[in-house]
């Protein structure tokens, strides 16, 4: 059990039958009246965000989130296939369950499956990936004074904004959390 006074960003709880994660919290001590904790909670399964206030003494059970390393095998239509590399068990997830998490992940790369009570609710890609640019317009010499960027399509089909000096066929590193170009490899 964790009390509302001990909330921290990233803590997962079970509140009213839902598994939620604390995105933001703020301890408020008004001049008059009792103190309270103002929070923003994200429902892990549906993705919805709600704002709630709690008394600091309220207690909630902490949710146990399991993270399991899985290998992304392939995509078949709207179905993504994953394999546990130790037991060789395979899991299939729909495009709705995966969301945007797989847009920078190539086949045979490792991802993390997040589950609660055996039910997979999210896929976490690696923080940084190296992908080859398959399509972009050529940059022109002298255009780099303003730090301008241009769109590029990487080998997974996702679009990334890259600096003008990056050309087709080059491999770049991308931050999967923000989808931003980091550097050439």
Greatest extent of the chain over all pairs of C-alpha atoms, in Å: 65
pTM exceeds 0.85: no
One domain, residues 106 and 137? no
> Percentage of the chain with pLDDT > 70?
96
One domain, residues 150 and 111? no
> How far is the C-alpha of 151 from the C-alpha of 164, rounded, in Å?
9
Nearest to 7 by CA among 69, 58, 83, 78: 58
Task: Out of 124, 148, 171, pick the residue that ends a domain.
Answer: 124
Collapsing DSSP states into helix, strand and coil, what is residue 148?
coil
Task: Out of 108, 124, 140, pick the residue that ends a domain.
Answer: 124
Within 10 angstroms of residue 70's Cβ, the number of other Cβ atoms is: 21
The CATH number of whichever domain residue 139 belongs to comes to: 2.40.50.140
Q: What is the domain range of residue 144?
A: 128-184
The CATH number of whichever domain residue 36 belongs to comes to: 2.30.30.30
Task: Give residue 120's pLDDT.
Answer: 80
Evaluate if residue 143 carries a pLDDT over 60: no
Per the structure, how many domains does the chain have? 3
One domain, residues 99 and 138? no
One domain, residues 53 and 29? yes
62-96 pLDDT, tens digit per residue, is 888 888 889 999 888 888 899 988 898 888 888 87
> How far is the C-alpha of 146 from the C-alpha of 161, rounded, in Å?
15
């Amino acid at each position: 059990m964790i009390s509302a006074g001990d909330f921290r960003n990233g803590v997962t709880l079970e509140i009213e039958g839902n598994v939620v994660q604390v995105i933001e919290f703020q301890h408020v001590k008004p001049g008059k009246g009792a103190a309270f904790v103002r929070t923003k909670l994200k429902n892990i399964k549906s993705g919805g965000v709600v704002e709630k206030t709690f008394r600091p003494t309220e207690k909630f059970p902490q949710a146990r989130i399991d993270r399991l390393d899985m290998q992304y095998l392939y995509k078949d239509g709207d179905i993504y296939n994953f394999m546990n590399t130790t037991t060789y068990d395979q899991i299939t997830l729909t495009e709705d369950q995966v969301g945007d998490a797989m847009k920078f992940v190539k086949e045979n790369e490792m991802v993390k499956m997040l589950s609660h009570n055996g039910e997979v609710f999210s896929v976490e890609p690696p923080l940084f990936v190296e992908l080859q640019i398959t399509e972009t317009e050529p940059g022109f010499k002298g255009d780099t004074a303003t730090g301008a960027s241009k769109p590029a399509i990487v080998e997974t089909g996702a679009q990334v904004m890259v600096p003008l000096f990056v050309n087709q066929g080059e491999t770049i590193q991308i931050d999967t959390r923000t989808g931003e170009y980091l550097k050439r490899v």
